[in-house]
Amino acid sequence: MKRDFNQSALRVFLTYYKPHWRLLAVDMVCVFFAALASLLFPIASRSAMRELLPAQKYGAFFAVMGILFLAYLIKAVLSYCMTVIGHRCGMYMEADMREDLFCHLQEMSFSFFDHNRTGALMSRMTSDLFSVTEIAHHGPENVITALITLVGSVIILMRIRWEIALALMVLVPLSIWLTLMQRQRMTRTNIQVKKQQAEINAVIESGISGVRTARAFANEDMENAKFRESNERYKGSKREWYRAMGTFMSGMEFAMSALQVVVIALGGYFIMKGMMDYIDLITFSLYVTSFVTPIRMVVAFMETFTDGMAGFQRFLELMRTQSPIQDAPDAVELTEVKGAVEFDDVFFQYDNGKPVLEHVALKIEPGKTLAVVGPSGGGKTTLCQLLPRFYDVTGGSVRLDGIDIRNITQKSLHRAIGILQQDVFIFADTIKENIRYGRPDATDEEIMEAAKRAEIHEDILAMPDGYDTFVGERGVMLSGGQKQRISIARVFLKNPPVLILDEATSALDSVTEQHIQAALDELAVGRTTLIIAHRLSTVRSADRVAVVDDTRIAEQGTQAELIEKNGMYAELLRAQQLPTADR
């Protein structure tokens, strides 16, 4: 369901009811009749005490009591339905919000994740939305129960003693006004609690992910200190929240208790004047209890409400954050990709304003291989991240088959490009599913063939469960070389027309590297290939070489041309003790 998240928070929240309106309707019907049952007892009791008992109609009296007993039995059944159905409705809404947020994060640019910690984002998706289940169904339930009970009680009480009813009509709105005033402070403090909770989650995520490094450097005390500092900030924000909650609860407790005192005081006055009797006073007290109960429910609900709405506000904050990289309205879908790549006077800089690439001009003919080499930090990896549009160029353009990639749909662009990155990510799943990630509809036979071409098949067969072996969090049960080869198998399976190899063999030993390099050379045949390499021994088969240094292309040409030029490329070869002749 498409939603406009730029609307007010309330309007956005209400849109989540729409897919589940039937559940909500059943819940509200149960609430309506449960509230009517609450109104029945005082007026029926008054009638029984005033008319049936004095007339010694004991049979009718006990019949009325039986009806009331049955009414409360029905109310208990309705309460059960409200609890089950209402919570289901709220749970579905919470799940819808979490799905919307997850899908939204999948569309965010790399720069977004550069500035947001994983643990904090996880907090937004989990704990921030937990209370939404409660406010989604308790909110409408409490509002309707309070309205029916209050309106019904006031109408009945007006017929008994309008002066006391009028006093209650003044005091109840005053109590509600105090509630609304305190809610603002509670919401502000609860948002701070959410922020500190997200910070704790980020510290925990970082601490657990980096526990091996912390142990290796004997820095456990430093990690513990970081957690304690974050935990103290959380405790401080929570203390402020409890102070706001304490003020709110004590004020409401006083207001609710004062209603009973007012009723008894005014009732006593009218009894002294002979204007009402004790039965009417008892009836008044019962009705005050009837509508004080839903008000107390609303008061108790305010803690959940402020917690849930604070989480929902933080949810909206993320949903309203748009990726700077969007498909153009007239973006085209790539179909038959030839693979002609061109960087035309490309500029790029990150948010800090420091240039990373300047005046970059490169052309790669379809089916040819370009190696990008140079010192670390020169911008090689950034250059290759511009082609799949992980980042947008600051100036100039990148074109694929003559089309500016900003005018190509991102999905079709990513389908056309296979990437082997220096930092391999392995999912906490089986080896088979990790390879299948390259093409989800691949058969087991195709997966095995891709593994053979990536020189990992024999290693997999030697594992306890073969292709069904679980690899652990981020592939912790695999060696660096095995993780790299599994990622290579993914690309073999994907079979894209354009390849980006970003230090693809960096984690492999020399013998395995030779096997993988041969497989990569085979994969590159007939495909446009962009190779990022630090070890120049891996780019022998490249048709052309570009040397990136200090944000610019220092030199480019065939390997023979660059060796003859005796510039930076020849210097890099000598530094790595590689021959500069016969290349």
Q: Is pTM, for the whole model, over 0.85?
A: no
Domain membership of residue 4 (yes or no) is: no
Tell me the CATH number at 243: 1.20.1560.10
Distance CA 304, CA 231 (A): 22
278-282, 372-376, 415-419, 506-510: the lowest-pLDDT one: 506-510
Same domain, yes or no, for 293 and 392?
Answer: no
Query: Which pLDDT score is estimated for 582?
Result: 46
List the domain range (segments joined by +) for residue 89.
Answer: 9-319
The mean pLDDT of the chain is: 82
Q: Report the Cα–Cα distance between both ends of the chain, in Å, rounded.
A: 59
| Selected residue with higher pLDDT from 261 and 178 | 261
439 occurs within a structural domain: yes
Please choose, from the candidates 241, 370, 258, 357, the residue with its C-alpha nearest in 3D space to the C-alpha of residue 306.
Answer: 241
User: How does DSSP assign 471-534, residue by residue?
Assistant: --GGGTTS-HHHHHHHHHHHHHHH--SEEEEESTTTTS-HHHHHHHHHHHHHHHTTSEEEEE-S
Instruction: Tell me which of 319, 353, 371 is where a domain ends.
Output: 319
**Each residue of 58-89: pLDDT tens digit?**
888 888 888 888 888 998 999 899 888 988 89
Segment 226-268, tens digit of pLDDT: 788 888 888 888 788 778 777 777 777 777 777 778 888 888 8
Residue 2 lies in a domain: no
Q: What is the CATH number of the domain that holds 396?
A: 3.40.50.300
- The answer on pLDDT for 281 being more than 70 is yes
Q: Are 111 and 214 in a shared domain? A: yes
Note whether 386 and 250 are same-domain residues. no
Instruction: Give the largest CA-CA distance in the chain.
Output: 122
Query: Do 255 and 364 fall within a single domain?
Result: no
- When divided into structural domains, the chain yields a total of 2
Structure token pair of residue 212:
């091996």
pLDDT in tens, 473-492: 777 788 877 888 888 888 88
Q: Do the strands 403-404 and 552-557 form a parallel or antiparallel pair, or are they unpaired? A: unpaired
The SS3 call for residue 440 is coil
Q: Is residue 562 part of a domain?
A: yes
